[in-house]
Amino acid sequence: MTFSSNLLSSNIALIRALPKPARVGLFLFFAAGFGDGALMPFFALWAQKEAGVSTEYIGLLLGCYAGGELLATPFVGGIADRVGRRPVLLISTAGVGLGFLLLYMTRGVFASALSLIVIGVFESVLHPTAATVVADVVAADKLRAHFALARVMSNAGRMIGPAVGSVLALWSLGLVFFGSAAALLVGAVVVAVALPETWAKGSSAQDDEEGEGMIALTAAF
């Protein structure tokens, strides 16, 4: 118990010592983890009972989620180095949140697949841009500790999300989608209110990144 208390206290102290942009980035990791954690355990149940999706297509639908990220990352992965971190995080968090609501309103395999691809496209820039915000404001010799903390925040969201989702599912499967969407939309509000721009124009080698992204896409396929 003492070890756990000391570990929790040290992590809280580490978060408090962070610059505000890094704290916002960590919160986005938590919100994204919460959204996925609350929704995914109940996705198959919703697909079968309410969306009219046959069992054999459920795995393919989840593949569409990852596929949207795979297809979009090489093309939009460096966008935060062209227009800034703040607008990218605003659009991506709001896009994922609204995408969860769109997914709930869809019926059938093709509409659900399209919705999941759209969510994946927005998701493709959320995590890397949040991590970049942390890297922008944290000293290089402390990055490992803070990236580890980002992983902890993401896992905390994935742990709390299913617990909250199970409570929401007792009333309605639809509430699970709204709960996941709310977490991301709250993240968008936090970005709008609390995140200053951390990007300095001209500080990135965007052409090299785009070339590497296309090579990575070719290798993946």
What are the tens digits of pLDDT across the range 141-196?
Answer: 888 888 888 898 999 999 999 999 999 999 888 899 999 999 999 999 999 999 98
Residue 158: predicted pLDDT: 93
Residue linked to tokens 């991301």? 184
Query: How many C-beta neighbours within 10 Å does residue 120 have?
Result: 22
Q: Cα–chain-centroid distance for residue 129?
A: 10
- Out of 66-70, 135-139, 187-191, least confident range: 66-70
Q: CA-to-CA distance for 153 and 32, rounded, in angstroms?
A: 10
Residue 194: predicted pLDDT: 92
CA dihedral sign of residues 174, 179, 180, 186: positive
Cα distances (angstroms) measured from residue 80 to each of 18, 27, 165: 21, 18, 32
In the 8-state DSSP scheme, what is residue 196? Answer: -
pLDDT level of residue 220 (50, 70, 90 thresholds) = very low
Residue 124: predicted pLDDT: 87
**More reliable by pLDDT, 8 or 83:** 83
71: exposed, middle or buried (Cβ count in 10 Å: 0-12, 13-18, 19+): middle
Cα distances (angstroms) measured from residue 157 to each of 30, 33, 87, 118, 151: 5, 4, 23, 22, 10
Convert the pLDDT of each residue in 9-64 to its tens digit: 555 666 666 778 888 999 999 999 999 999 999 988 888 888 888 888 888 888 88
**More reliable by pLDDT, 76 or 121:** 121
Token output for 143:
């990055």
Token output for 20:
């505000």
Q: What is the mean pLDDT of residues 81-110?
A: 91
Token output for 72:
């979009």
pLDDT level of residue 71 (50, 70, 90 thresholds) = confident
Token output for 43:
């996705």
- Max mean pLDDT among 103-117, 130-144, 181-195 falls in 181-195
Predicted model pTM = 0.82
Residue 16: predicted pLDDT: 65
Query: How many C-beta neighbours within 10 Å does residue 61 have?
Result: 20
